[in-house]
Amino acid sequence: MISNLIKSKEKMTKICKNVSIQCFKGKNKEDKSKIRLFSSLNVKKVKPVYKFNSPKKISLKSLNSVKKIHLINSEVEISTKREVIIFSDKQFKEEISTSDWCSEKEFERFIRFAKRYANSQSNN
C-alpha cells in the first residue's frame, strides 16, 4: 500500500491555498503541526498522529469544546477520532490527535492532504 503511494507521488503533489488544520471549525490553527505515521508490523494498519507543541488557541474556557481536529482542503475534510491535551505548569504543553483509516482510498486522501499542507506551510 505505502510503496504504491510513493511511486505515484508526482500525481498527488498539488499546491492548494485552501489547506488548513482547524481545532475549532472556521478557525485555522496557527501552530505548526508534526504529523507522523505509525504502522503495525504487517503494515496493514497505519495510524497518523498529529502533534502541536504549545497550542495557542486552546484556553481553559474552550477546553471542553476541543473534541477533534479537522483537516481541510479542496478535495475533502478529514476529522480525527481522538484528542489529548497535555497541561502542565499552568499552560498547555501539547495537543495530540490520532485517527484511523478504513480503506486504502482514505489513506491516499490523507497523503494528498499532508502533501498539500506541507507545500502550503513551506510557502509561508
45, β-bridge pairs: none
pLDDT in tens, 82-105: 778 888 877 888 888 888 777 888
**What pLDDT, on the 0 to 100 scale, is given for residue 16?**
46
From start to end of the chain, where are the E strands? 20-24, 27-28, 33-39, 46-53, 70-72, 77-79, 82-88, 91-98
Higher pLDDT, 112 or 58: 112
**What pLDDT, on the 0 to 100 scale, is given for residue 9?**
38
User: pLDDT band for position 44 (50/70/90)?
Assistant: low
> In the predicted model, what is the mean pLDDT of residues 106-111?
85
Residue 100 contacts residue 81 (beta carbons within 8 Å): yes
DSSP state of 124: -
- Which range, of 43-47, 56-60, 68-72, averages the lowest pLDDT? 43-47
* Domains of the chain as residue ranges with CATH: 15-122 (2.40.30.220)
**What pLDDT, on the 0 to 100 scale, is given for residue 14?**
41
